[in-house]
Structure 1
Amino acid sequence: MASDTNTIAAFVKLGKYLTDFCDNCYSKTGEIDSELKKIVAQARHHNGWFTEDNILFALKQWGYLLTEENLKAWLSNYTFKKDSEPKTVGIVMAGNIPLVGFHDFLCVLLSGNKVLAKLSSNDKILLPYLSKYLIQQEASLTDKIEFVDGKLEDFDAVIATGSNNTGRYFEYYFGNKPNIIRKNRNSVAVLTGTETENELKALGEDIFRYYGLGCRNVSKVYVPKDYDFDTLFKALYDYKDIIDQHKYANNYDYNKAVYLMSQFKIMDNGFMVLKEDEALTSPISVLYYSHYDDESRLRKELEELGEHIQCVVSSESLANGVNFGNTQKPSLNDYADGIDTMEFLLQL
């Protein structure tokens, strides 16, 4: 089992294909691939949360990552066994953001194994098309990629991503096989009150990209006592047009109405609700916050919550730390839940 150079080359070609497509879409110059444009439109119509901007953002990030330099630097950290029999790895994919399961797909193929993928009904258009492109570049991948609609069968290991509820279901059905089972996670930000306007504007990207539906989206902020929320609201004002998306607007109207009827104390800027709450998982259009008065105590609290937190956005040096604006720009070795997917696959 080894990472085949032809497979790497196919992914490099895919990366260039995506980069060229996105560059031409954003600049509105040059020739735009008509087939991929149709696929983007289909994905947009299929799932109202998948706007063209968010789909292009996801494609662009993968285009940036899938270069020969990036792939080889990432893979150089691993020892690949020679002549091992490829294993069939079932991947149960989430569908909360575009191509959320692509990293697992990439890891399985570059580890020399076979993909048996069950797509989410919310995101079933993009990956089959990209797989078709990969197979056009490298015919041997034909026998290594399979999509199934029904029950996963005849697999040697499984990677399954879902909610806490589906996680229990996954553990019951897949517990007798080598597995990675992922449940709910959220991301948080720790503010000190000394952030620049640009840092807080970048935080808006972490909050609002994909409408907050990703596990890497910031759903809660920790702020010091007497924090000036006006500064935060002012910096986030650039994202006000998010309210024009009707699904988001419906969530905003509903959550705001519930809080007001329940007489909860909230802050509101016309497109986002701020609510003090100890929980990590906030509803769409709502950002939770908690105050802290001791940074070392907060660090300890975040460490204790580690299995529920994907990223921590902060200018401070914190575990799982990410710079402002970068939560939705993970690198190839940023593994979900901190579990090294590639190492898991190489041990099969």
Structure 2
Amino acid sequence: MTMQQTSYLVDTPEQYSVTEVTEVFPATEIDDRYPQYQALSGVRKWIRYAWYPMIDLISVMGTIAAIASFERQGISWIDLGILLFMFNFVGLAGEAGMHRLFAHKSYKVIKPLRILLAVAGSMTGESPILEYVAYHRRHHIYADQQGDPHTPYYIDAEQPLSRIRNIWHSFFGWKYNSKTSQMAAPEKYAKDLLAEPAMVIINNSFYGIVLASFVLPALLGLVLTGTVAGAWTAFLWGGCFRFLVMTLMGDLIIRAGCHLFGTRPFIDQANSHSGNIWFLAIPSLGLAWHNNHHAFPGSALLNIDWWQIDPSGSFISLLEKLGWATNVKRPTPEQVKAKRLN
């Protein structure tokens, strides 16, 4: 399949509606007492354009410093613990929260936990929650077709260096592409969250929340070691190194890699190129079962077969057992059988 760049914004009929990607709540009026979402324009747009390379540069430089520190003195158990805590705390909130809860509404949780997942999920730094949900829902509706904001099949395969340019577009370039920046309006694709004041406030606090994800491990290091040096190394490992690994995992390996490689045991919803990469299941917290996800986008659990490991699905199942999650959606055996390829 190829895709012509010049016609990327043609008025292509939607293959699937938002209601087929996720259950849509009834329309609710927006409360004017709370801050409202504002689309990017003018100075705010250029601040955003400067934000991503700046925060990525900080994480890269911090990772280099962390590696240099490792060569001199290794990594302490405290720093390792903070790194693993931040990776799982932010990662589970991003995958189980931002993705499966907010974008696909594959289960429901009590309100305090919903707010916590939105805040911690925003620490991934991928994008503000309203934009993330809108872009992701559109991605499923047009998966790997004209209109998909970050498909790795954006540029015609016959053009020079198309594979490298497509990977770059899917990984990072789509955020700066004038064609993709106008595709997914939250007013169309995330109406349910726009009607939720807490989500709008969290969306508008995006920059501060991401910065807090670097400050939090430093504070933990300071408390646990009682030294500035302990705060510094915790910042390097739990802040910078963790952020860089999660960015590469989410933006490059999943968004590009899982749409270029992997096995396809199921016919997915939009017949995209999504694939499962089994050895990335644990570090991606389950999202590397990407063909499973595109085949059953409304499912809260992605371990369709018994041997598949889905850490985020296990987390959601735990919440269900504790009574903190309800309406957890799973495909029926009949649905699985109907979509399984021979």
By percentage of residues, which structure has more strand? 1
**TM-score, scaled to structure 2:** 0.22
If asked which structure has higher relative contact order (CA below 8 Å, sep 6+), I would say 2
TM-score (normalizing by structure 1): 0.22
Q: Find the structure with the greater CA-based Rg.
A: 1
